[in-house]
Amino acid sequence: MSKTDFIPSLPLRDIVVFPSMIVPLFVGREKSIKALDEVMKSNKKIVLVAQKNAEIDNPSSEDLYSIGCESKILQLLKLPDGTVKVLVEGIQKVKIKEFKNEKDYLTSSVEILTEKAEKKEELLAFSIAIVRKLEKLSNLNKKISFELMSNLKDQKDPSRIADHISGQLNISISEKQKLLEILDLKDRLNSLMEHIDKEINVISVEKRIRGRVKNQM
């Protein structure tokens, strides 16, 4: 399935939005605010795409990744300082075929990407094992909320589990973007397991070092 029309698009400096993820964004750039104003007049759909370099104020197509997330605006609030707070929900992954910067805001034509997921039952069992591993990590670093862990345990769709965990991991924007771009669900789950294992190992090593320093003192 593809879309030939151009959709208002929002470059993101420091976040990658995944499908089914609900997240607040603070928007201050004039072009981005105009894009939000435009979508609020119609179906509230907008394409969210991460910047390769957060420092660039007026990104061109070369400064943006080619895979983003078509999303829906759930709430919009204009703040006294001129910035806008929006609550967005990721809907589906899209490949950007073309960017246009002709209007007062960025637009893009997109193609909807479909995830490859074979042997769903096996993948569900694997995703449940990842949730257990994530729980071990959350006990170590306390950065993942109890509410999110409860929701993940109740979730039965391995793709949604992968999306929710991807958004929560303490990794760089470029690493999150790589996760967004993996269309084979099994490969994505394997990558998530590697990231979680790596984080657990780092925290464990840090704790051992602190323990040794404390004993020496």
pLDDT in tens, the chain (217 residues): 445 589 999 999 999 999 999 999 999 999 999 999 999 998 999 999 999 999 998 898 899 999 999 999 999 999 999 999 999 999 999 999 999 987 789 999 999 999 998 888 899 999 999 999 999 998 888 777 788 888 899 999 999 999 999 998 989 999 999 999 999 999 999 999 999 999 999 888 887 887 777 777 6
pLDDT value for 210: 79
Neighbouring residues of 163: CB distance < 8 A, sequence distance ≥ 6: 18, 19, 20, 21, 90
pLDDT value for 148: 83
State pTM to two decimals. Answer: 0.88
CA atoms of 127 and 192, how far apart (whole Å) = 9
DSSP 8-state assignment for residue 184: B
- Yes or no: say if 69 and 38 are a contact pair by the CB < 8 Å rule: no
CA atoms of 217 and 213, how far apart (whole Å) = 6
CA atoms of 66 and 95, how far apart (whole Å) = 6
Structure tokens at 9: 């698009």
Q: Where are the beta strands (DSSP E) in 53-176?
A: 67-78, 84-100, 107-112
Q: Are strands 84-100 and 22-27 parallel, antiparallel or unpaired?
A: antiparallel
pLDDT value for 1: 41
